[in-house]
Structure formats: structure tokens, C-alpha cells
Structure 1
């Protein structure tokens, strides 16, 4: 039986990582406020695309919110819809696909409440975090399960919707990915206010995941991955963080 200190150790590590990210963000925002001509050093080589298979230790891929999906898969999904849409599928399933735009939360939540389908299949590059959380709460209230098929991607804010399923499954080839979220232009707010908003957003996300039965430590992978890249969770990580239930 673990002692209280052993139980608290993973949480402390997670909070340390979150604090480190916030300190770096504060420095970047402060430097950005010093002058518009300030530029950060160029980043390294661009991460490979999603068409390149991942393996433990090689899980960071280039993120493009307009991408059609994973090239070379069985189904040509075509361009992602610019706004999230709910479409009927075979059997007792519906497809929730497209980018998560501002205001999509209330609209999709209403549609989910009125739909009798038992399972929601997801295929989305992500988008608005607050709208994703609103959709996720509605999905959980409706008691629906979630699924990623072999050709589907669920990236950025989309995993928060996926996490709301009462049962959650990712078929071989499905991709669940996390990264740092954009929180608006820093030129509109003093650095300390921008960081405060980031902290509040992180707290809301972690509280949501905990409510859904998902280990909040999964956000550490997102916090350490820049917005232009995406960290693809392995099958073991999906299970370890309870992102999947089977």
C-alpha cells in the first residue's frame, strides 16, 4: 500500500512542470511587450507530418489545423469542415467532425442532447478549448461513448471531447494528440494578466479531465509541446492516463 507521500509524488512532478511552463511563458510575454520588433530565436527543424508512424520517444509531429486527416489511410476524408458538424453514421453512431470554432459548444451541445445515437465517432484537428469542454460536458450528460476509428485524428482541444465518453476506444491507427493552446494575442494584455488567464484555463482543463475519470497528468505532454507541433499519445499512454477504457 502506497504512503501519502508516494501518492503525492506524481502530482508534485506535474505541478512542477506546469510551473516551469508558466515561468517560460511569462518571460516570452514580457519580452514581447518590450517591443513589436523583438523576435525569438528560430526553432529547429519542423517536425515530420502525421503520415510518419510514431513510436515511443518519436511522437512529435507537425500540426496543421486545416489538414484532411492522415494520408495513406483507407478512407479519403477530404478537407476538414471549418466548423464542427454532427453527421449520422451507420447503426447507432454519429460522426462529430471539423474544426471546433467559437460558439460551436452551445450549438453542438443542443444537437447531442436531441440525438439518440449511443456512440460519437470523432475526427477533428481541434480548436476552441472552452467550446470543446462545453461539448464534452454535454456528451457526458447524454451518456454517450466515444470512438476513434483507424483513419481518425483527434488533436489539440478535441481530446477533451473524446475524454467525456462514458466508454472510450481508439482503434489501431487512430491518433490522439496534445499541444500548448493559444490564449490570444499577448499585445492586448499585460504579461501578468495573460499568465493568469493561462493558469485559469489550465486549472479548468485539469478539473474537467479529473471529472471525466482521466488522469490530469496527461496535460504535461501538451504543455511541453509547442502550438505548431502535436504530441501523439502511444497506446500505452492512452491506457496509463485512462484516456481509453478498453
Structure 2
């Protein structure tokens, strides 16, 4: 029609990588991705393609190269329900990326329930032609040590680039090569920012959900129980949080008319005024949870004399939608752990929940 330009169709590309990961595979993949980027550039905030991974592993450095390519070209990674992705394949999987905004990359790593992704410490293939022959046992030990040190350094650098907690890699490096760690429990999904596909939902009580969210947000503190979750009505929850803001008004660096409004609202029982001031404070950048539905305060988090309260709101309609704010003695505290952007519902699980059992 005159004056209208047809939009480009949304093209979804799928690449499948299967079999042993060998030297040269990353170069082959680069050719494919470069061609895709030229012939069908990705839509904004969408991956160029999705790569399905099915491999028992192979060359660890080649796995890292593939992971870096997935990051460079914004390729999402997925392991299907009947597939295995182990060792070097699992490392490549961590490169899955959906998009890039400036220097920030958005990860996109998914596992269909039943698919298996497993990590272990790397080992030196002594039969490799790339390892120079040693003239003495001392020289052989020195060569092996240098190769191992280089491999460990490469893994730590890779984890940092992919936004993975380097303590995960440190844990792998301290284990025997035959000891495996799989992406199976909720905590591992969260640590590696991986989303499960096809996960059956349970319906625990709201207090349990609130405790789980807070326990995940305060990772490292002793977990609270649902008995430590106190529920408020939306009105009482807002009033309680506004009282907390007033008590810490200097920490929040509040100035101007909002200070007077806050003082006035706490002296009245006008629900509309409470709503208005609460929303104004949120708009001004004060750390208050979005009023989605029921309010909960979960207590009992402490490290020595330092204590935290966790405030949660739960959506009435969308179980994956919630907001959480941590409050310390001197004001708001940054979350110690955040859920994967694409699957925040992982926070609704206890960290030890088995989401993806290993196949027998």
C-alpha cells in the first residue's frame, strides 16, 4: 500500500552442534554465523540464532572458543530434553547470549527438562601430539604444570567474561576429573543463569514463596522459614515501609516536599494519600517494592550484629512476577543474588529443589 513499507520477516535460525568438539569447529561455526549475520541480521533484542548442543565433550579450548563466538554473535544456547552436553560442550553452553546493549550482554542459556549439562575438571591428554616430548621427568612435570596453569587461567577468565561466579570454576578445579557437577538443582540454575524449559509448577503457600524469594536474594545468609514471613495487606504493607523510610530519612537522602508529604501521610489514614506518596517515593528512586499484591516481610537474616529484613510483593495474577527489596540497619541493601532475567520464577524455588534430575 502507498506510504507503507513491509516489515522484514522475523527469521528464526537453529544450528545443531553434535558429536565430539574438535579443533577447527569454532572456525567452521564462525563462517556459518558470519553468513547468517550478513544475510539476515537479527531483530533488536533478539538472538541471531539458537544453537542446540549435544556432545560428550572434547577439546576444552575449542569449547571456550565456541562459547566466545556465541557471545560475539548473540547466539542463544539450548540443550534439548534427550541430549547430553558435557565437559567442553557445557563450557560452550555458557556462552549463550540473546542480545547486547552497549557493553552489557543478556545471557540466554536454556535446558529442556531431561537434558543433561555436566561439568568436571579438565585433564591433560598425554597422547596429544601438541604436547612436546619431555627429556626428563622434571621437564615433563614442569610442562604439565604450565599447561594446567594456563588452562585454569583460561577457565577463570572465560567465567568472568560470561558473568559466571568464578567460585563455580574454582570449585571444579579443586575436584578430581571424574567428579561431575550437573545443572540439576535450583541453585545451580541460578548461579549459571540458566532457564529450565518445561518445568512443572507447584503451588506452595504464599509465605513459602516469600521465604524462598528472600532466601535466594540473601544468598549466603542462613535461610529463613515460612514462619518468619509476615504478611501485610497492601495498605498496611505500604504504611509499614513508609515508616521505615521515615526512620532512615537521612540515609535515603530525601529532601524537599516529599519529606513533608511523608510526615503527613503517616499521620492520616487516607489510603489514596498513602498510595500517592508511596508511588512518588518509588519514582524518586527510593528502594520500595512495586505494589503487585500481597506484601510480606521476612526476618531473621543476620551476620553477627548485622541484620537484614526482606520485603517482598507477590503478583495476584502472574506467579513469576514479584519484587524484592532488602533493608539493613542503615537503609536499602543491594540483592546478594539476582534471578536470570529470562526466568525470574527460579527465585520461587528453594535453592535445593531438584528441578532437572539426572537420567539413570
Which range, TM-score by smaller chain? 0.5 to 0.7
Partner Cα distance (1:190, 1:162) in 2: 33
Asked whether 1:184 is paired with 2:125, we answer: yes
Task: Write out aligned runs for 1:60-139 (5 A).
Answer: 92-115=13-36, 118-139=49-70
2:71 to 140, 144, 152: 140
1:169 maps to 110
More strand per residue: 2
Partner Cα distance (2:118, 2:170) in 1: 12
TM-score when normalising by structure 2: 0.40
Partner Cα distance (1:242, 1:180) in 2: 17
Distance 1:126 1:135, change over 3 A: same
1:12 maps to none
Q: CA deviation at 1:232?
A: 2.0
- Does the CA-based 8 Å contact 2:53-2:78 persist in structure 1? yes
Q: CA deviation at 1:113?
A: 2.6
1:85 maps to none
2:169 to 219, 225, 230: 219
Partner Cα distance (2:87, 2:192) in 1: 18
Spell out, residue by residue over 1:52-82, the C-alpha distance to the aligned partner (whole angstroms, 9 max, x if none): xxxxxxxxxxxxxxxxxxxxxxxxxxxxxxx
- Does the CA-based 8 Å contact 2:159-2:169 persist in structure 1? no
Spell out, residue by residue over 1:77-110, the C-alpha distance to the aligned partner (whole angstroms, 9 max, x if none): xxxxxxxxxxxxx953221111101222222222
- Does the CA-based 8 Å contact 1:180-1:227 persist in structure 2? yes
Distance 1:237 1:203, change over 3 A: farther
Partner Cα distance (1:218, 1:112) in 2: 29
Partner Cα distance (1:107, 1:94) in 2: 12
Partner Cα distance (1:112, 1:227) in 2: 33
Partner Cα distance (2:146, 2:186) in 1: 33
Spell out, residue by residue over 1:146-168, the C-alpha distance to the aligned partner (whole angstroms, 9 max, x if none): 11121121101111211111111
Partner Cα distance (1:138, 1:101) in 2: 15
Structure 2 unaligned segments of length 5 or more: list them: 1-10, 38-47, 98-107, 195-339, 344-360
- Does the CA-based 8 Å contact 2:17-2:54 persist in structure 1? yes
Partner Cα distance (1:151, 1:237) in 2: 22
TM-score when normalising by structure 1: 0.57
- DSSP 3-state at the match of 1:115: helix
* Structure with more relative contact order (C-alpha pairs < 8 Å, separation 6 or more): 1
